[in-house]
Amino acid sequence: MTTDATTKPTVRPSSLPVKPRIYSGIQPTGRPHLGNDLGAIRNYVALQDRYEAIYCIVDYHALTHVHDPEVLRRQTLEMAAALIALGLDPKRCTVFVQSDRPEVTELCWLFNTVTPVGWLQRTPTYKEKRANQPEDVNHGLLTYPVLQAADIALPKASLVPIGKDQAPHLELSREIVRAFNARYGETFPEPQAVYTEAPVVLGTDGQRKMSKSIGNTIEILAEPDVIRKQVMSMVTDTQRILRTDPGRPQVCNVCQLHRHFGKDYEEIWDGERAARTGCVDTKKLLVERIIAHYAPARAMYSELLADPAHLRAILNEGAERIRPIAEATMTEVRERMGLR
């Protein structure tokens, strides 16, 4: 686990929680992929005992691109089941759904008033989304990072476990909080990113980050046959044409992923370099390891989804647990802004 070296320590406002608070959000994309787990969820799990940890399924954010209410509802529950199956323990951390704590939308509006439009227009994800969905450049896409800043600020979180793709958003959150503090007095900590050993996981194409919208994912909780097909389709070292050509593990995504599924990855890399093993052998080994590693989580995921009422109860309890935190922040913010 590493914290972002580019961010500097910040002043601690007197109204801050004594124990540092961790917050992170994840979109309700249904079953998470390997990039979500290696880049973020592993840290959510690792940090839940060391800090007061709050994790949110951000369904308001998803409305900027998912428009089928039934799909959104189903995928929200699926993500909740996945997070718990992958190791979040609702007794040791808080898991809730964003729209169950609507105070965040009020804080988002208030943050909008300290956020210059230029900052939002320059956000890489906004430019990317505008290009990818030109027929639906809704205002939510522009203000998406402001809502993200409000997510983090509502519980006054100071640490945010995320993958590297979220770094520009986190930087913007820091700037928004700084702008608020400068105008209305020290209220929020400037949050710092926390990264795993795998802050950027490439997709099966070996080129772009793993992402559901690109369609280059390995769905860790899918049926073994789906995982097998996805891993076997991975692009390896494109310069290794013949089985007898030496492999280059440093540029092969399959070899890189082996780092996270066994201590013997150096031996696997040596086998590739000496052409003792071929790309197919290395992929087959990776398939078996991924399937075995996630087998207990896959079983628990199915069990949890079979009892949606129980899942909903966990999420309701999470939202209730942070109600006093959210209400206290909003009371303070309204007061500072002259709204009372």
Active site residues: 129, 209, 212
Token pair listed for 257: 């992923």
Locate the DSSP E strands across 58-156.
94-97
Is residue 94 near ligand TYM by the rule CB under 6 A?
no
- Find the farthest-apart pair of alpha carbons in the chain and give their distance in angstroms, rounded: 75
Is residue 101 close enough to count as binding ligand TYM by CB under 6 A? no
Q: Cβ 164 to ligand TYM, closest distance in Å?
A: 6
Strand partners, 96: 56
Among 8, 7, 46, CA closest to 24 = 46
Distances (CA, A) of 105 to 77, 88, 113, 124, 133: 21, 26, 13, 23, 24
DSSP 208: S
Q: Does 155 bind ligand TYM (CB under 6 A)?
A: no
Number of residues that bind ligand TYM (CB under 6 A): 25
From CA 289, how far away is CA 182, in angstroms rounded? 50
Select from 40, 82, 83, 104 the one that contacts ligand TYM (CB under 6 A): 40
Question: Judged by CB under 6 A, which of 20, 30, 39, 271 binds ligand TYM?
Answer: 39
Residue 176 binds ligand TYM, judged by CB under 6 A: no
From 6-14, 31-39, 67-75, 330-338, span contacting ligand TYM (CB under 6 A): 31-39
Q: Cβ closer to ligand TYM: 66 or 275?
A: 66
Q: How far apart are CA 19 and CA 153, in angstroms?
A: 15
Nearer to ligand TYM, 36 or 329 (CB): 36
Sheet holding 21-26, edge to edge: 2-3, 192-195, 159-161, 21-26, 52-57, 94-97
Instruction: Single out the segment in contact with ligand TYM by CB under 6 A; choices: 5-13, 20-28, 86-94, 107-115.
Output: 20-28
| Count of other CB atoms within 10 angstroms of residue 325 | 19
165 counts as binding ligand TYM under rule CB under 6 A: yes
Which of 45, 80, 84, 162 touches ligand TYM (CB under 6 A)? 162
Return the residue of 178, 209, 289, 321 that touches ligand TYM, per CB under 6 A. 209
Which stretches of the chain bind ligand TYM, using CB under 6 A?
A: 24-27, 35-36, 39-40, 58, 61, 148, 151-152, 160, 162-163, 165-166, 169, 199-201, 209-211
